[in-house]
């Protein structure tokens, strides 16, 4: 247990040895607990990745030992009936452009709200509205987006989906960039203003260098959440603009589910987030803690 | 120091315009739609004024009732389990030094994976004929279960997926909270002879309350929005046993093309959530003023 050690036992030498031994025991137990927890978390991922390397027959027979096979991946990527490559490209385009827009709009707005002397009611009503919008299930507004986009000819268009994703992730980004922009000392902004610097110069030379890690954190999370988003693309896009989650949803809806392909497509679509988690983890952690805890 | 008015406005307006066009305007649109019966003829919407008829239908809608009830059960049970398991695991594993990066990587991974893929993964594991769970049951000599097809079991199966999905993140947040508690209070309590249970009850829990509250609220919001996993795992079925509110709206609005009625349902859900947020803010603000 956490506080199993006794302060008195640490005082004398022979007891000290027992103390370290029991501490080692506690540490071993902690690691066992964490290890089993980690295995429970990892097992389903291991299972789907291994399913992706099985043939449909091996999979349906529930074989544990099998010869790895790349057919699932090859079918998903190269087969003429598979839309996966296009879905992947669509997700990239929609994710990257909406992330860029979110970062620009959120950074400008956060800087404006926290450093350019807006009255308190402006700050509170904008942030309040953004919180309410963030808590509402996206499917409620998706219906209105669908009818509005349809009436201006933006249904099933990249523009419509990008706009929707930008709006959807703006509250989170506004919140996070607000946290990071408040790290910029007010005195620094005021000193720059006294020196005659205009707002664009202040943003570029004073704010940007300070919030750059914050931008990375916000950007990575926005991209991942756009990549993962499902209900809104389900409503707004059709085949040409479909993203990865839609493609995978489709595998599961067919009468005979192509499990190998579904597993292979799932494995491939986890890759971007997995690589970001391996190589940009400090930004992800920073973003998650500023978004969820502060 | 006078700020340049032009730039003050120019920096805030993009956000204001986007919110106005894509959140306020749709809300007005939804409100307008909710008083009409809408039919699509040659991509043109034909509106028929029906007054409050759409809203009057809401209380009688069995699907909506099932959806609201299941969402509530799903959110409360799943989040309670995640918090409880996460907290116990965090208590058991504070101050582990070695392997932190590895554990953190593993525990963050599930929340970065698309919900739809979480669904795909578990659909594979829950499969009646070849899923790993039934293989395990057979190996143990037990009868295989129709995890997603049995109306008595389906909601529980979906909750298990959510608990698997989110417990690691609750664990990480609660662990960070536990590790930031000051050591000297516990030292003092130990010297005063407080038992481990007393320390937990009278020191750890009160000090952890803010972290617990934040984790709880964060999870509840997401749990009420649940859609992706259920879309893939059960599609709301069998019957209405895993129907959730987002799914009911989707079904009425899009699958059945009841645009006006779907809009009324959306407005009702948004109103309930907004009222909840405002009430919660008032309550905490009132408490803060008294304290």
Mean pLDDT of all residues in A112-129:
91
* Direct distance between the N- and C-terminal alpha carbons of chain A, in angstroms, rounded to an integer: 29
B254 found inside a domain: no
CATH number at residue B195: 1.10.3720.10
Distance from CA of A54 to the nearest CA of B (A): 13
Residue B291 pLDDT exceeds 70: no
Domain ranges for chain A, please list them: 7-73, 81-292
Range with lowest mean pLDDT among A245-254, B13-22, B109-118: A245-254
Read off the pLDDT band of A9 (50, 70, 90): very low
Q: What is the pLDDT of residue A19?
A: 54
Neighbours of A134 (CB within 10 A): 18
What count of Cα atoms within 13 Å lies in the side-chain half-sphere of residue A222? 34
B258 found inside a domain: no
B189 found inside a domain: yes
Q: What is the pLDDT of residue A238?
A: 87
B19 found inside a domain: no
Give the CA dihedral A95, A101, A105, A107, nearest 10 degrees: 70
Alpha helices (H) along chain A: 13-52, 56-60, 71-78, 84-115, 120-135, 138-151, 158-181, 186-194, 199-202, 208-228, 231-236, 244-253, 259-279, 281-292
**Domain A81-292 belongs in CATH node 3.40.190.10:** no
B60 found inside a domain: no
Closest partner residue to A269 (CB to CB) among B114, B168, B262 is B114
Q: For residue range B175-202, what is the model confidence (pLDDT) as tens digits?
A: 989 988 888 888 888 888 888 888 898 9
Neighbours of A16 (CB within 10 A): 12
d(CA B143, CA B157): 16
Read off the pLDDT band of A143 (50, 70, 90): confident
Q: What is the pLDDT of residue A294?
A: 40
B132 found inside a domain: yes
The residue of chain B with its CA nearest to that of A35 is B103
Range of the domain at B131: 71-243
Q: What is the pLDDT of residue A293?
A: 45
Q: What is the pLDDT of residue A13?
A: 40
From the list B251, B286, B66, B222, the residue with the least C-alpha distance to A143 is B251
Q: Which residues of B touch A109 (CB under 8 A)?
A: 11-12, 14-16
Q: What is the pLDDT of residue A291?
A: 59
B48 CB-contact burial (10 Å; exposed 0-12 / middle 13-18 / buried 19+): exposed
Q: How many domains does chain B have?
A: 1
- Count of CB contacts below 8 A, A vs B? 286
Asked if B246 lies within 8 A of A230 by C-beta distance, the reply is no
Q: Buried b vs exposed e over A149-171: b needs ≥16 C-beta within 10 Å? A: bbeeebbbbbebbbbbbbbbbbb
Q: For residue range A164-223, what is the model confidence (pLDDT) as tens digits?
A: 999 999 999 999 999 999 989 989 988 998 888 889 999 999 999 999 999 999 999 999
More reliable by pLDDT, A17 or A152: A152
Residue A8 pLDDT exceeds 50: no
Which two three-digit tokens encode residue B277?
Answer: 């947020």
Judge contact between B99 and A271, C-beta under 8 A: no
- Residues 6 or more apart whose Cβ sits within 8 Å of residue B30: A140, A141, A143, A144, B263, B266, B267, B270
Q: For residue range B100-152, what is the model confidence (pLDDT) as tens digits?
A: 889 999 999 999 999 999 999 999 899 888 888 988 898 898 988 899 999 99
B248 found inside a domain: no
Q: What is the pLDDT of residue B3?
A: 60
Asked if A266 lies within 8 A of B117 by C-beta distance, the reply is yes
Q: What is the pLDDT of residue A112?
A: 94
Whole-model pTM: value is 0.90
B51 found inside a domain: no
Mean pLDDT of all residues in B266-287:
84
- Residues 6 or more apart whose Cβ sits within 8 Å of residue A217: A176, A180, A283, A284, A286, A287, A290
Interface of A with B in 152-171 (CB under 8 A): 163-164, 166-167, 170
The residue of chain B with its CA nearest to that of A194 is B1
d(CA A138, CA A115): 31
Read off the pLDDT band of A26 (50, 70, 90): confident
Which two three-digit tokens encode residue B40?
Answer: 């699509």
- Among residues of chain A, what percentage have pLDDT more than 70? 92
**Residue that is written with structure tokens 């059709």 in the block:** A238
Q: What is the pLDDT of residue A17?
A: 46
Q: What is the ipTM of this complex?
A: 0.89
Distance of CA B54 to the CA centre of its chain: 27
N residues, chain B: 291
């Amino acid at each position: 247990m956490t506080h199993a050690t006794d302060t008195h036992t640490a005082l004398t030498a022979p007891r000290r040895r027992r103390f370290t031994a029991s501490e080692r025991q506690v540490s071993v137990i902690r690691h066992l607990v964490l290890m089993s927890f980690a295995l429970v978390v990892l097992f389903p991922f291991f299972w789907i990745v291994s399913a992706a390397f099985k043939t449909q027959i091996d999979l349906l027979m529930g074989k544990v030992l099998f010869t790895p096979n790349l057919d699932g991946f090859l079918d998903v990527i190269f087969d003429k009936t598979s839309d996966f490559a296009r879905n992947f490209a669509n997700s990239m385009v929609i994710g990257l452009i909406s992330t860029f827009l979110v970062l620009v709009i959120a950074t400008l707005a956060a800087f404006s709200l926290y450093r350019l002397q807006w009255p308190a009611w402006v700050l509170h009503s904008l942030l309040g509205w953004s919180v309410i919008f963030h808590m509402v299930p996206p499917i409620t507004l998706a219906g209105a987006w669908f009818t509005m986009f349809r009436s201006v000819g933006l249904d099933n268009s990249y523009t419509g989906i990008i706009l929707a994703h930008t709006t959807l992730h703006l509250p989170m980004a506004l919140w996070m960039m607000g946290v990071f922009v408040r790290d910029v000392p007010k005195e620094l902004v005021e000193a720059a203003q006294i020196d005659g610097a205009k707002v664009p110069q202040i943003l570029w030379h004073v704010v940007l260098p300070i919030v750059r890690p914050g931008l990375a954190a916000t950007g990575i999370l926005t991209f991942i959440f756009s990549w993962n988003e499902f209900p809104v693309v389900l409503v707004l896009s059709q085949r040409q603009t479909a993203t990865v989650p839609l493609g995978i949803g489709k595998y599961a809806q067919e009468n005979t589910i192509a499990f190998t392909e579904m597993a292979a497509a799932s494995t491939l679509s986890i890759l971007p987030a997995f690589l970001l988690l391996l190589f940009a983890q400090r930004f992800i952690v920073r973003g998650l803690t500023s978004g969820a805890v502060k | 120091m006078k700020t340049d008015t032009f730039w003050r406005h120019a920096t805030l307006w993009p956000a204001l315009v986007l919110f106005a066009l894509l959140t306020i305007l749709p809300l007005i649109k939804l409100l307008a739609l909710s008083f009409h019966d809408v039919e699509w003829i040659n991509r043109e919407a034909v509106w028929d004024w029906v007054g409050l008829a759409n809203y009057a239908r809401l209380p009688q809608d069995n699907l909506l009732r099932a959806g609201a009830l299941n969402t509530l059960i799903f959110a409360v049970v799943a989040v309670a389990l995640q918090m409880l398991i996460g907290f116990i695991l965090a208590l058991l594993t504070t101050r582990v030094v070695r392997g932190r990066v590895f554990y953190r990587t593993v525990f963050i991974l599930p929340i970065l994976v698309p919900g739809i893929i979480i669904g795909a993964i578990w659909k594979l594991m829950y499969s009646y004929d070849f899923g790993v769970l039934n293989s395990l049951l057979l190996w143990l000599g037990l009868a295989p279960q129709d995890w997603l097809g049995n109306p008595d079991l389906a909601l529980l199966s979906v909750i298990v997926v959510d608990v698997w999905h989110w417990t690691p993140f609750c664990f990480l947040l609660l662990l960070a909270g536990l590790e930031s508690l000051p050591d000297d209070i516990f030292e003092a309590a130990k010297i005063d002879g407080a038992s481990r249970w007393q320390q937990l009850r009278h020191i750890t829990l009160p000090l952890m309350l803010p972290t617990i509250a934040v984790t709880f609220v964060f999870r509840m919001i997401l749990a009420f929005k649940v859609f992706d996993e259920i879309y893939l795992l059960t599609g709301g079925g069998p019957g209405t046993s895993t129907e959730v509110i987002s799914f009911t709206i989707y079904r009425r609005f899009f699958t059945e093309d009841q645009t006006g009625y779907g809009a009324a349902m959306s407005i009702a859900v948004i109103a309930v959530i907004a009222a909840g947020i405002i009430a919660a803010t008032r309550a905490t603000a009132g408490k803060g003023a008294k304290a």
